[in-house]
Copies of this chain bind each other. A is one copy, B any other.
Amino acid sequence: MRILRSVVEMQREAERLRLAGRTIGFVPTMGYLHAGHMSLVEHAKSATDVVILSIFVNPTQFGPSEDFAKYPRDFDKDRALAERAGVEILFHPANDEMYGNGFGTYVEEQASSRILEGMIRPGHFRGVTTVVAKLFNICKPHVAVFGQKDVQQAFIVKKMVRDLNLDVSVLVAPIARETDGLAMSSRNVYLTKQERSEAIALFQSLTMAQEKIKMGEQNAVRLRQEMESLIRSKGSPTIDYIAFVDPESFQEIDTVTGSTVLVAVAARYGTTRLIDNVLVEVR
């Protein structure tokens, strides 16, 4: 596995691979890799010839009061995991390499970026779309793989790809979970033992909502109340949202009428913010 830290070198290498007729799969990450990331690499490997994985904790997608500085980092461990997973090139640029002097051009999706995560974290998706556009221009992938856990991010990236005619196929891989159902996340390491056990309620509430929807419940207001009760019966997080979303338009709905509905939850246990979701096939 090669490690590249320079934008120009990475572009040159990506161009060389393309000219040699090899297809590039790309997995953008912020590092602190876990089994969820590894499953993204597996998806990329099965779709392309060469996998590039990037590790870059992107400052522009963190708000001023968020956890950019303390976001967990462990490059040596990440390098070992990436190598073992079959990553061919690890792209690991410094902040200055990505955001040089006078940086000032942003990519912004202006509809779906404003609700849910975008409402709670103003500017977050502008940072995401900007860095993903940059990484696509640097790594030149044929296929890029994102995780379903960040479902709004995946939707917005796909929208950006369509709107800006980026010639990249975006794959979305299922959520990897711990054995008790908690969605894997680099941020899980922040949780105290107590919070860790309380947080299982997020997935449990999603599973409950899924069962009720499949049994015919259409009232999102009632479902939300039941999910909230379940979550609060196990702990006392700050719930940022419990949302029912049309996965085609990414608009919130009050009544489940379509053939699929996305149920998404975001909650803070202490200072740790967790998100999770489930895509329900209604019929």
Chain B residues with CB under 8 Å of A134's CB are 163-165
A129 → chain B closest CB, angstroms: 7
Flag if B105 contacts A163 (CB, 8 Å): yes
Flag if A162 contacts B7 (CB, 8 Å): no
Give the copy number: 2
Given A105-B110, A109-B105, A167-B137: A162 touches B15 (CB 8 Å cut-off): no
Confirm or deny: A196 has a beta carbon within 8 angstroms of a beta carbon on chain B: no
Residues of chain A in range 100-145 having any CB-CB distance to chain B below 8 Å: 100, 102-111, 129-130, 133-134, 137-138, 140
Confirm or deny: A160 has a beta carbon within 8 angstroms of a beta carbon on chain B: yes
Q: How far is the CA of A101 from the CA of B134 in the complex (A)?
A: 25
Q: How far is the CA of A105 from the CA of B105 in the complex (A)?
A: 13
A195 → chain B closest CB, angstroms: 36
Known: A102-B159, A107-B133. 15 other contacts (CB 8 A): A11-B165, A18-B18, A18-B19, A19-B21, A104-B109, A104-B110, A104-B111, A105-B108, A105-B160, A107-B108, A130-B164, A137-B164, A137-B166, A137-B167, A140-B167
Query: CB within 8 Å of B: which residues of A?
Result: 7, 11, 15, 18-19, 21, 100, 102-111, 129-130, 133-134, 137-138, 140, 159-160, 162-167
Taking a contact as CB atoms closer than 8 A, the residue among B137, B159, B160, B165 that contacts A7 in the complex is B165
Q: How far is the CA of A108 from the CA of B107 in the complex (A)?
A: 6
Flag if A167 contacts B11 (CB, 8 Å): yes
Flag if B103 contacts A163 (CB, 8 Å): yes
Chain B residues with CB under 8 Å of A110's CB are 104-106
Q: How far is the CA of A162 from the CA of B137 in the complex (A)?
A: 11
Q: How far is the CA of A15 from the CA of B18 in the complex (A)?
A: 10
Chain B residues with CB under 8 Å of A102's CB are 111, 159
Q: How far is the CA of A104 from the CA of B155 in the complex (A)?
A: 13
Flag if B104 contacts A106 (CB, 8 Å): no
